[in-house]
Amino acid sequence: MGVTVAGRITRQLSGCLLGAGMALGGVQAAQTLDDIQWISEEYAPYNYTEDGVPTGISVEVLQHIWERLDIRREVADIRVLPWARGYRIAQDDPNTCLFLTTVTEPRRELFQFVEPVVDVTIAIVGPPLETGQPAIRSIEDLEPLTIGVVRDDIGEHLLHHLGATATVVRTDSPHILVRMLRGGRFDAVAYDSHVTRWNMVREEMDPAEYEDLFVLSHGVMGYACHRDMDPELIDQLQGALDALLADGTVESIIRRYRE
């Protein structure tokens, strides 16, 4: 899905005008699908960069959505930011969709979701419990632990929502999270189970040395768009995703990354 040089210049000028509009204190919601700004993060295998280029399950699904709806975008248009920053922008800028984002009831009040893209398990992941250690059967059993999270990620939100009294250490990325786990900076992490193990492999850690000690939530992830975005645009995006789910495209992409 290539674009012309003129198209790139037009989008660059649009981005400058958008920034100026924000500086003046107001941004008009996206009027067309081409106006939407897409923001992501390093959250492999769902979305991440290779040689500076966004890729992953959600990026490939999004490309198919763009193709079905004739949206003039390419992967280079995706802004990859730290999660906490992208999460704030997606709530402030009515032109924005953030992905992938775990769907929860509190977040439905903040965003309009295009979902489901993929299932997700948010778990407490750490070394196996030593002989004699009590099993973790409830959120209260986490109290003696120090748990690492990514700032403003669903793992941190769930710990807070469920009333966990464990000591929580915030980090800025999954790479830092698993490195600190390996270094013994905390006992376990609260994070997506698949993403944790993917990052362990990239950091040359053995995922077999860790296990899901306690599941915080099973759910789905999707594209989280600003709550003031035109519902008709959301409906078009959802319709395209539904078609990709129905014809097996999404399942095929997921299987390729998870095998």
CATH number at residue 190: 3.40.190.10
Residue 7 included in any domain: no
Q: What's residue 118's pLDDT? A: 97
Residue 71 and residue 97 in one domain? yes
Residue 51 included in any domain: yes
Residue 72 included in any domain: yes
Residues 224 and 121: beta-carbon distance below 8 Å: no
Residue 65 and residue 140 in one domain? no
Instruction: List per-block mean pLDDT (blocks of 10 residues) for the chain, which spans 259 residues.
Output: 39 41 54 96 94 97 98 96 95 97 94 97 96 91 97 94 97 95 97 95 96 97 97 98 98 92
Q: What's residue 168's pLDDT? A: 98
Q: What's residue 12's pLDDT? A: 42
Distances (CA, A) of 186 to 131, 202, 208, 218: 19, 20, 18, 24
Residue 13 included in any domain: no
Residue 99 and residue 224 in one domain? yes
Q: What's residue 164's pLDDT? A: 97
Q: What's residue 27's pLDDT? A: 60
Provide the residue type at 259 as one letter.
E
Residue 129 and residue 110 in one domain? no
Residue 147 included in any domain: yes
Residue 157 and residue 214 in one domain? yes
Residue 168 and residue 94 in one domain? no
Residue 137 and residue 163 in one domain? yes
Q: Cis link prior to 100 (omega < 30° from 0)?
A: yes
Number of domains in the chain: 2
Structural domain boundaries, residue 84: 26-119+219-258
Residue 20 included in any domain: no
pLDDT in tens, 22-62: 443 456 677 899 999 999 999 999 999 999 999 999 999 99
pLDDT in tens, 166-185: 999 999 999 999 999 999 99
What is residue 163's DSSP assignment?
A: T
Contacts (Cβ under 8 Å, ≥6 apart) of 218? 119, 120, 121, 122
d(CA 170, CA 168): 6
Counting Cβ atoms within 10 Å, is residue 4 exposed (0-12), middle (13-18) or buried (19+)? exposed
Residue 108 included in any domain: yes
Residue 125 and residue 213 in one domain? yes
Residue 211 and residue 235 in one domain? no
Residue 3 included in any domain: no
